[in-house]
Every structure is written in structure tokens, then in C-alpha cells.
């Protein structure tokens, strides 16, 4: 028989997990927050972006008027049409430059995160943290400033 205090802890953990998972995928996304900000990668699969990218850090920007997502994947630029429905971002036809990169980075893994057929789950936390997850890859972005290179 479980002690009364332990039942409370288990219940709290289960409720937190349930509502935490629910808020990410089902909560409506404020598209103005996405579009009016420049997002800079802070981590990929829990690893600090500065560890994975020796050179430029990947970014993402949204243009809802033209339904275009674009940014830097490290050494290269990417762009493509997208849709955002029910918390899922779909960008099936992304294009990218293919410049040689003098830096070690995880650019291929970053770009592959957008290739999931079912799309990428979008979570906006406190209007300053953006999470994109596809089941295999988790990308976390923070609001940032555009540099002259972008």
C-alpha cells in the first residue's frame, strides 16, 4: 500500500505531465509573436547550440503574409512555404543554399528536423521561448536580434 504523501507526489507529477504535454500541441499559437521576432537556436536535443555550431548559430523567422519560413542553418540559408495548423508547422518544400562550411556543425540535423512528413509541433512559452519538436529532434529558440550577416 502506497503512503498518503507518495500518492500526492505521484498525482502531482501525472497532472504536471498531462497538462504540460497538452499545452504544447493543443494551445493556439500567437502568430504575431512568431512573426514579429527573430528566433535564435539555443539548443538542439538538449545540447547547447554553441557546442553544436562553431560558426554562426541557426535562426528562424516567419512571414505569415506570404506563408514563408526562412533563416540560417549555420553556414547556409534556408527558405520555404509553410502552414501552421493546430500547433503543427509543415514546411514540405524547403530550399537551402549549399555553401561549403569551414566550421564543424550540426546543420544537416537542424534542417532534417523540418522534413518530418507529419510536421513539427510548435510550442511558444512565455512569448520568448519557441520549441519545435518532431519526435526525433527538439529545437529550442529564444528571441534574438538580427545581425548584419542575416
In order, the DSSP letters of 61-98 are EEETTTTEEEEE-SSSEEEEE-EEETTEEE-TT-EE--
Provide the pLDDT for residue 2: 44
pLDDT for 28 equals 74
Integer Cα distance of 13 and 16 in angstroms = 5
User: What letter does residue 48 receive in the DSSP assignment?
Assistant: E
Q: Which domains does the chain have, with CATH numbers?
A: 29-144 (2.40.128.270)
Hey, how many other C-beta atoms are within 10 angstroms of the C-beta on 106? Answer: 20
Residue 15: its pLDDT value, please? 31
pLDDT the model gives residue 7: 42
Exposure letters 8-30 (e unless 16+ CB within 10 A, then b): eeeeeeeeeeeeeeeebeeeebe
Q: What is the pLDDT of residue 60?
A: 97
Question: Which of left, alpha, beta for 128 (phi over 0: left; psi -120 to 50: alpha)?
Answer: alpha
Q: CA torsion sign, 128 to 86 to 20 to 107?
A: negative
Three-state SS at 105 = coil
pLDDT of residue 8: 41
pLDDT, tens digit, 9 for 90 and up, residues 24-45 = 555 678 899 999 999 999 999 9
pTM of the model: 0.80
User: Distance of CA 105 to CAs 22, 75, 85, Å?
Assistant: 33, 9, 31
- Give me the residues of the chain with pLDDT under 50, please: 1-2, 5-23
Which single residue is written with the C-alpha cell 512559452?
125
Amino acid at each position: 500500500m502506497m503512503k498518503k504523501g507518495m500518492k500526492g507526489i505521484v498525482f502531482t507529477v501525472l497532472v504536471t505531465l498531462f497538462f504540460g504535454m497538452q499545452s504544447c500541441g493543443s494551445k493556439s499559437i500567437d502568430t504575431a509573436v512568431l512573426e514579429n521576432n527573430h528566433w535564435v537556436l539555443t539548443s538542439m536535443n538538449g545540447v547547447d547550440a554553441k557546442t553544436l555550431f562553431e560558426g554562426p548559430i541557426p535562426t528562424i523567422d516567419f512571414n505569415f503574409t506570404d506563408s514563408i519560413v526562412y533563416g540560417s542553418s549555420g553556414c547556409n540559408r534556408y527558405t520555404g512555404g509553410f502552414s501552421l495548423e493546430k500547433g503543427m508547422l509543415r514546411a514540405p518544400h524547403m530550399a537551402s543554399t549549399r555553401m561549403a562550411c569551414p566550421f564543424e556543425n550540426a546543420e544537416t540535423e537542424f534542417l532534417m528536423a523540418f522534413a518530418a512528413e507529419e510536421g513539427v509541433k510548435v510550442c511558444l512559452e512565455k512569448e520568448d521561448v519557441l520549441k519545435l519538436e518532431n519526435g526525433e529532434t527538439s529545437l529550442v529558440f529564444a528571441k534574438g536580434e538580427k545581425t548584419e550577416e542575416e
